[in-house]
């Protein structure tokens, strides 16, 4: 459990809140690249701030305040032209840096435009995702995720709307025990990972260990896997709202092996405001091309063009009691993100953690909360929190890997067993630190 005060500190991310100040020290996804065309501005809301994205004359994403500095008209209706975003009402032209380039009504002799300063946040586009930094200058170094420098065929990203606080989403990612229930199938569907289902069904009480790292922590769920064997699944918490784990298959398992450390999935939970969030799901492959047809047309086909699911609280997530008898434990279809959306929304929009009764399987969840509270305290004390990196500092993600394996039961989960199976570590170490 958590005190109400601490619950507020880690769940509230609006401007001026302690949690919001901490979250603004990190680069955050603000949209998918495919959402932003060259000439249509995109209204966005992130951590309670109403903003608008557009592409500048070079096609680079720019992020500015939604309301025109003149008389507050919504700039997302404006025209992308002349190197900026022009307001429809009186024609003021705003640049992506927040300067005012033109005020037609003021006349050519006026220098009034030079005194206008509009809200603007820096952006960076990589791997199909547009990231922004909303904290105080100078912005920290971009996180060195391999997906950001991978060839386009090895990255795939989408997002999914959630009607609950961002933290519930991320707590679910570091909660490996729920694989044995929420995501369990009674009958394999062919598309789902039969090996994983067998492993998590066989032992519903995994031993959970974690160790802190320079980016957050890595957690290990160890399950009994038959005579003398253990199945160890590694999941990473990446400060302050990201995670990396062995997720969706990157190739069609009917055509090839989904295992063998092909890559991993990241779930990055970005607050829209305190009661809604976007879950960015980013698939990354170390070497082989991702099977995009399979991913888009089959695996993620339940996510609509509006990045929402048909399953909502309003229709009780289309739960099927017949399916529960024969196919799945939850009766909520085959997609894990639909299950997770149900579970995290069904906690309430902002779960009251003072009312919880945590068990041994919640240790990683508690570790996450401690790291977030500690990061908030760091920001309040004027220090950079964990995993805010400056030029010249080592790349914390060089120590991040995603490995899940069937191993001898004598294996120490907290030992170095995973390092020989971790191609992403070698890739990261090969990258420059800045």
CB of 100 to ligand FES, least distance (A): 10
Asked if 90 touches ligand FES (CB under 6 A), the answer is: yes
Report the 10 Å Cβ neighbour count for 334. 17
Question: Rounded to the nearest whole angstrom, what is the least distance from the CB of residue 173 to Fe ion in the complex?
Answer: 7
| Residues 12-71 interacting with ligand FES (rule: CB under 6 A) | 68, 70-71
Give the Cα separation of 177 and 200 in Å (integer).
Answer: 8
8-16, 88-96, 284-292, 348-356 -> range binding ligand FES (CB under 6 A): 88-96
**Measured between alpha carbons, how far is 261 from 253 in angstroms, rounded to an integer?**
14
**Residues at the contact surface with Fe ion, assessed by CB under 5 A:** 340
Rounded to a whole number of angstroms, the minimum distance from the CB of residue 154 to Fe ion is: 24
Cβ closer to Fe ion: 247 or 385? 247
Q: Which two tokens stand for residue 429?
A: 């170490």
CB 250 within 8 Å of CB 292: no
70 vs 229 by CB, closer to ligand FES: 70
Could you tell me the smallest distance in angstroms from the CB atom of residue 182 to Fe ion? 6
Q: How far is CA 358 from CA 122, 217, 341, 353, 363, in A?
A: 40, 19, 21, 10, 8
Cβ-based neighbour number of residue 293 at 10 Å: 9
Instruction: Give the interface size with ligand FES as a residue count (CB under 6 A).
Output: 9
* Pairwise CA distance, residues 19 & 7, whole Å: 10
For residue 63, report the phi and psi dihedrals to the nearest 5 degrees: -130, 120
Q: Which does 340 bind (CB under 5 to 8 A by kind): Fe ion, ligand FES, none?
A: Fe ion
Is the CB of 65 or the CB of 364 nearer to ligand FES?
A: 65
Handedness of CA 245, 250, 256, 261 (dihedral sign): negative
Residue 126 interacts with which of ligand FES, Fe ion, none, CB < 5 to 8 Å by class: none
Closer Cβ to Fe ion, 274 or 340, answer by number: 340
Query: From the CB of 315, what's the least distance to Fe ion, in Å?
Result: 21
Measured from the CB atom, the residue of 79 and 184 that comes closer to Fe ion is 184
191 binds, among ligand FES, Fe ion, none (CB under 5 to 8 A by kind): none
Give the shortest CB-66-to-ligand FES separation in angstroms: 11
* Binding partner of 98, given Fe ion, ligand FES, none, CB within 5-8 angstroms per partner class: none
Toward ligand FES, which CB reaches closer, 113 or 370?
113
Among 26, 27, 92, 217, binds ligand FES (CB under 6 A): 92
Q: And the tokens for 365?
A: 């969840």
Contacting ligand FES (CB under 6 A), which of 87, 167, 309, 332?
A: 87
* 8, 35, 73, 370: which one binds ligand FES (CB under 6 A): 73
Nearer to Fe ion, 44 or 182 (CB): 182
| Contact flag: residue 421 with ligand FES (CB under 6 A) | no
* Minimum gap (Å) between residue 92 Cβ and ligand FES: 4
Q: If contact means CB under 5 to 8 A according to the sort of partner, which of Fe ion, ligand FES, none does residue 89 touch?
A: ligand FES
Minimum gap (Å) between residue 118 Cβ and ligand FES: 11
Restricted to residues 207-226, the positions that interact with ligand FES (CB under 6 A) are none
Our finding on whether 113 is near ligand FES (CB under 6 A) is no
| Residues 399, 214 contacting (CB under 8 angstroms) | yes
CB nearer to ligand FES: pick between 118 and 425: 118
- Contact residue for ligand FES among 89, 181, 329, 417 (CB under 6 A): 89
Instruction: Look at residue 87 and give the partner it binds from ligand FES, Fe ion, none, a contact being a CB closer than 5 to 8 Å depending on partner kind.
Output: ligand FES
Q: Residue 89 or residue 329: which is nearer to ligand FES going by CB?
A: 89
Residues engaged in binding ligand FES (CB under 6 A): 68, 70-71, 73, 87, 89-92
């Amino acid at each position: 459990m958590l005190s109400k005060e601490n619950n507020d500190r880690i769940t509230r991310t609006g401007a001026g809140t302690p949690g919001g100040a901490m979250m603004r020290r990190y680069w955050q996804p603000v949209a998918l690249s495919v959402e932003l065309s060259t000439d249509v501005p995109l209204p966005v809301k992130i951590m309670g701030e109403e903003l608008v994205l557009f592409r500048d004359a070079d096609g680079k994403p720019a992020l500015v305040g939604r309301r025109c500095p003149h008389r507050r008209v919504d700039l997302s209706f404006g025209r992308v032209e002349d190197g900026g975003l022009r307001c429809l009402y009186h024609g003021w032209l705003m640049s992506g840096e927040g300067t005012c380039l033109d005020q037609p009504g003021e006349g050519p002799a006026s220098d009034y435009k030079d005194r206008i300063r509009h809200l603007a946040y820096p952006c960076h586009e990589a791997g199909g995702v547009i990231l922004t930094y909303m904290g105080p200058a100078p912005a920290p170094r971009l996180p060195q995720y391999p997906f950001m420098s991978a060839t386009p065929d090895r990255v795939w990203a989408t997002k999914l709307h959630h009607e609950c606080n961002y933290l519930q989403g991320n707590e679910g990612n570091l909660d490996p025990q729920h694989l044995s229930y929420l995501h369990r199938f009674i009958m394999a569907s062919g598309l789902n990972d039969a090996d994983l289902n067998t492993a998590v069904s066989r032992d519903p009480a995994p031993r959970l260990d974690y160790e802190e790292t320079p980016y957050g922590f890595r957690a290990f769920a160890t399950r009994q896997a038959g005579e003398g064997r253990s199945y160890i699944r590694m999941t990473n918490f990446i400060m302050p709202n990201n995670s990396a784990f062995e997720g969706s298959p990157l190739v069609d398992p009917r055509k090839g092996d989904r295992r063998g450390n092909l890559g991993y999935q990241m779930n990055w939970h970005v607050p829209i405001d305190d009661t809604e969030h976007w879950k960015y799901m980013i698939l990354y492959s170390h070497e082989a091309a991702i099977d995009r047809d399979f991913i888009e047309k089959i695996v993620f086909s339940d996510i609509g063009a509006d990045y929402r699911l048909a399953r909502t609280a309003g229709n009780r997530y289309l739960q099927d009691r017949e399916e529960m008898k024969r196919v799945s434990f939850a009766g909520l279809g085959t997609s894990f993100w639909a299950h997770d959306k149900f579970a995290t929304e069904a906690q309430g929009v902002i779960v009251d953690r003072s009312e919880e009764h945590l068990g041994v399987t919640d240790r990683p969840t508690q570790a996450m909360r401690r790291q977030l509270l500690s990061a908030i305290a760091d920001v309040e004390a004027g220090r950079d929190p964990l995993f805010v990196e400056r030029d010249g500092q080592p790349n914390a993600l060089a120590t991040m890997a995603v490995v899940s394996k069937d191993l001898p039961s004598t294996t120490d989960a907290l030992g170095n067993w995973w390092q020989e199976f971790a191609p992403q570590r070698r890739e990261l170490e090969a990258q420059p630190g800045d």
